Amino acid sequence: MLAIDLTGKRAFVAGVADDGGFGFAIAKALAEAGASVCVGTWPPALNIFLNLLERGKMDESLTLPDGSRMAFEKIYAFDAAYDALADVPADIRDSKRYKDRGDFTIEGVARQLEADFGPQPLDIVIHSLANGPEVKKPLLETSRAGYLSALSVSAYSLVSMVRTFTPLMRPGGNFQSITFMASERAVPGYGGGMSSAKAALESDTRTLAYEVGTKHGLRINTISAGPYASRAATAIGFIDAMMRYAKANAMLREDLEAREVGATAAFLASPLASAITGATIYVDNGYHAMGVAFEGVTEQKDD
């Protein structure tokens, strides 16, 4: 019987700050498959996340199907906007949300992982993070700084993570990220350069897959998830309308569930997907393949 078995594997999931997003769903699916899971949390959200865990507010979400409780092996303060501590502006480094967090940069967390678990401690790295400070602005109104910030945090951070974490990966390891269909179709309201960042993320996935595949035997894929009301997506302001529209016009008239993205990530991380790399995998009930919307379309009878 085929089964997803990640026993003995260790994952680092970047972008977990609550139990409502794809990052958490992926972490849970990996844990259910037997992997040990470390997470990286944006420093300004870390205290809230730790408080939720300590107060038992996430106990139900942490419960696995067999009744056991998922426990994170390690939680790191992690800000993928910065490659190294020297890159962090002084006002950020010295602010109350950052100053006691140690080295929260990509290079800093890589060093902490090696210190905590030894050389080559990782099998799976998940990039489940994005940020566009001007995401609510139309592209025509987006500033250069806002546009470049969206690309830096949402796309270039993957390049930096792959470069920095590759030496930490065991043979057969894999990287994954989360993208969105705005990379290839116009999605009004998803602005601030975020659609450009997702397009870059997908393009970089293909190039990185070639580079780390030929040089290191590692795989990298990205999951294009349908609209989902995570905390980050809700901040955009029109996610409910997007979800209704996607459900009405997808091939499968179902609400997307985060666990479906998590299950896909677990599959991609497993030996069952050993020949899949450089791919964009759609988990959106078939919505991406539709060329004409159902809404408002009246069936026509043959003459």
DSSP one-letter code for 69? B
Pairing of strands 122-127, 74-77: unpaired
Q: Indicate whether 173 pLDDT > 80.
A: yes
pLDDT confidence of residue 298: 46
Which H or E run includes 38?
strand 36-41
- Determine the Cα–Cα distance for residues 280 and 223; give it in Å rounded to an integer: 6
DSSP one-letter code for 287? G
Taking residues 120-137, report their average pLDDT: 96
Report pLDDT digits (tens) over 238-271. 778 888 888 888 999 889 999 999 999 999 999 9
Ordered structural domains, the chain, with CATH: 10-286 (3.40.50.720)
The two tokens of residue 127 are 């990039």
Q: Indicate whether 227 pLDDT > 90.
A: no
pLDDT confidence of residue 234: 66
- Determine the Cα–Cα distance for residues 38 and 12; give it in Å rounded to an integer: 5
pLDDT confidence of residue 11: 98
Report pLDDT digits (tens) over 63-101. 999 999 999 999 999 999 999 999 999 999 999 999 999
Task: Tell me if 128 sits within 8 A of 177, measured CB to CB.
Answer: yes
Region of 120 (left: φ > 0; alpha: ψ -120 to 50; beta: rest) is left
Report pLDDT digits (tens) over 275-297. 999 999 999 999 998 888 776 54
The two tokens of residue 204 are 């970089």
Taking residues 211-230, report their average pLDDT: 94
